[in-house]
Structures are given as C-alpha cells and as structure tokens.
C-alpha cells in the first residue's frame, strides 16, 4: 500500500497531536510514503509558526526539524512540474481548493496514474480535502 500524506498528516509524524498515532500506524504498514515536495516547506513553516506561538518549545522545534530532515529522503517526494502545476490549477478551479491543497491533490492524482496497483491511500486532517481526493480515485 502507498500512503500519500498532505502536510497536515505529515506534521503529525513530528508533532504529537490528535491523529498522530493513526498516521504513524498508516506509515508503518505502507510500502511507500509519498508527499509533494511542497510538504517539506509547509511542514517547516508549521514548525516555525508553532515555535513563534510558543506551542512548540525550542528543543521540540529543533527535534522536529532534525527528524524531518532525517526522514525526508525515505519519502517519495513528488516534484511540482509544469504539467502538475497546471493540473493543480484545473483542480483548484473545479474543486475550489487553495493553491497548495490543489498541488497535493494533483500530486495524489499523479501517483494514482503511475502506481502499479490501486492501493493508494490519501491522508489529510482536512475533511474537505480528503473528500475531494476520493473523487480522484
């Protein structure tokens, strides 16, 4: 099984919050964990925002960054090509999503089109985004 994580799910691997255990379990059974390359920047931005808001202490922030950097090479990071960006634009028009959400959906759609089997699962804490991903299958 291939697990695609949008940033809201990716962050749960590094910051303990509701759903972190379920994401860790999903990744544990997946043969491949995929995300968009934009997930890295979005995750780092989330860590930094939580540090600024004092929801994440300096040592927890440093630990999250260190672990993300250590793990990043193990993820299938889907590049944002011109074709993928255009597909994301079409999805944003059709589904009314924000830009990076559309990139995650287009990345998932790309993964579905190129996966050798259909056992690909989309994971997001955003119910609306998860619902949109189901329409791509």
pLDDT at 135: 84
In the chain, the number of structural domains is 1
| pLDDT per position as a tens digit, 33-92 | 999 999 999 999 999 999 999 999 999 999 999 999 999 999 999 999 999 999 999 999
Q: Parallel, antiparallel, or unpaired: how do β-strands 120-123 and 2-5 relate?
A: parallel
CATH number, domain of 82, equals: 3.40.50.1010
Nearest to 123 by CA among 50, 51, 22, 15: 22
**Domain extent for 128:** 2-134
Query: Considering the entire predicted model, what is its pTM?
Result: 0.94
Distance CA 91, CA 49 (A): 28
Distance CA 56, CA 28 (A): 25
**Residue 104: which pLDDT band, with cuts at 50, 70 and 90?**
very high
pLDDT at 116: 79
Nearest to 87 by CA among 73, 71, 108: 108
Q: What percent of the chain has pLDDT over 70?
A: 99
**Residue 18: which pLDDT band, with cuts at 50, 70 and 90?**
very high
Residue 103: count of CB within 10 angstroms of its CB: 26
pLDDT at 92: 94
**Do 121 and 3 meet the contact criterion of CB atoms below 8 Å apart?**
yes
């Amino acid at each position: 099984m291939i697990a695609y994580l949008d940033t809201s799910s990716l962050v749960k691997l590094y910051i303990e919050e509701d759903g972190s255990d379920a994401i860790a379990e999903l990744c544990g059974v997946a043969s491949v964990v995929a995300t968009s390359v934009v997930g890295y920047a979005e995750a780092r931005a989330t860590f930094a925002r939580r540090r600024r808001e004092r929801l994440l202490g300096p040592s927890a922030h440093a630990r999250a960054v260190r672990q993300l950097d250590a793990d990043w090479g193990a993820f299938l990071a889907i590049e944002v090509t011109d074709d993928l960006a255009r597909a994301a634009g079409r999805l944003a028009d059709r589904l009314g999503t924000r830009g990076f959400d559309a990139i995650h959906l287009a990345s998932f759609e790309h993964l579905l089109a190129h996966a050798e089997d259909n056992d690909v699962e989309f994971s997001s804490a955003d119910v609306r985004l998860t619902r949109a991903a189901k329409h791509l299958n």
